[in-house]
Amino acid sequence: MSQALDELIELLDLEAIEVNIFRGTQPDEDRQRVFGGQVAGQALVAASRTVEADRHVHSLHAYFLRPGDPTVPILYEVDRLRDGRSFTTRRVVAIQHGRPIFNLQASFHTVEDGLDYHLPMPSGVTAPEELPTYQERLEPYRERVGAWLDRPRPIDTRYAPPDHAFEPGLQTDGQLVWMRADGSLPDDPVLHACIVTYASDMTLLDTALRPSGKSSFTDDLMMASLDHAMWFHRPFRADDWLLYQQRAISASSARGLADGSIYTADGTLVVSVVQEGLIRVID
């Protein structure tokens, strides 16, 4: 297991400081604001800590309210909205400096039999082993990317072609990204769900730029996640390769919308994601 993954697991191991109140630490990184996937993953951990082990998250809906301060811990307050016979609902508010920065509502469900169908995984996608690592992909642009390129990453991401990180003008309607935790994980389904929640915020908003021919490395853009929704359909492991199929849905009024489907390598749909984010063009 990589040190970066060890640190992510530690980041997701919240401290219980009171009934329904948890504290999350911050990574030792130079960031202007808290990464959205971090606060979403930590909030899901907080919610899960108040739910019976036989109930698994099946959906979450979240709003990013304010930029998080990466220099101080985050408090997570859990509201136990409902404990039903089959479903459990929790609301989590993340707080810094006395103000909410993020809220999440998650629903948990017991395992039940039922209909089973899903859209197929795209065919003909290049295998992740044949694709460059994140560092290899951006090495030709080291001068532009700077020290960010050498930062250890807990999630191994491999972009299938066409990839236009630094190819202005290349217009597509989506992207395909393989991802997995950079090391083996314990057999804890909550941890696997929280790590995929963390990873799901890494690349999705960038997808909304694809039809414009811009990328997140463009200097004239201000971007931030606004809201994030996920549906967990079937069991998976976050330390196995997962294909994140992402589509640009809409861009207007300084906002962009994208959705994603996450498949196991054998083609099973395990998670669906939708995100809207701020995409503001700076004059």
Q: How confident is the model at residue 277 (pLDDT cuts 50, 70, 90)?
A: very high
Identify whether 105 is a catalytic site residue. no
Full domain range(s) for residue 202: 3-111+126-281
Query: Is 245 inside any structural domain?
Result: yes
Cα(178)–Cα(203) distance, integer angstroms: 11
CATH code at position 132: 2.40.160.210
CA-based torsion, 93, 102, 61, 43: positive or negative: negative
pLDDT digits (tens, 9 = 90+) for 117-174: 999 999 999 999 999 998 888 887 777 777 777 788 999 999 998 776 666 666 788 9
pLDDT score, position 32: 82
Is 225 designated active site? yes
As given in the structure block, the two tokens for residue 229 are: 């929704």
Q: Kindly name the residue from 96, 107, 200, 225 that is annotated as catalytic.
A: 225
pLDDT of residue 219: 67
Does residue 192 form part of some domain? yes
Q: Is residue 119 part of a domain?
A: no
* pLDDT tens string 183-209: 999 999 999 999 999 999 999 999 998
Catalytic residue, chosen from 163, 182, 201, 206, is 201
Q: Look at residue 22 and tell me if it is in a domain.
A: yes
117 falls within a domain: no
Total domain count for the chain?
A: 1
Question: Is residue 118 in a domain?
Answer: no
- 201 catalytic? Reply is yes
Whether 116 is covered by a domain: the verdict is: no
pTM of whole model > 0.85?
A: yes
Kindly state whether residue 170 falls inside one of the protein's structural domains.
yes
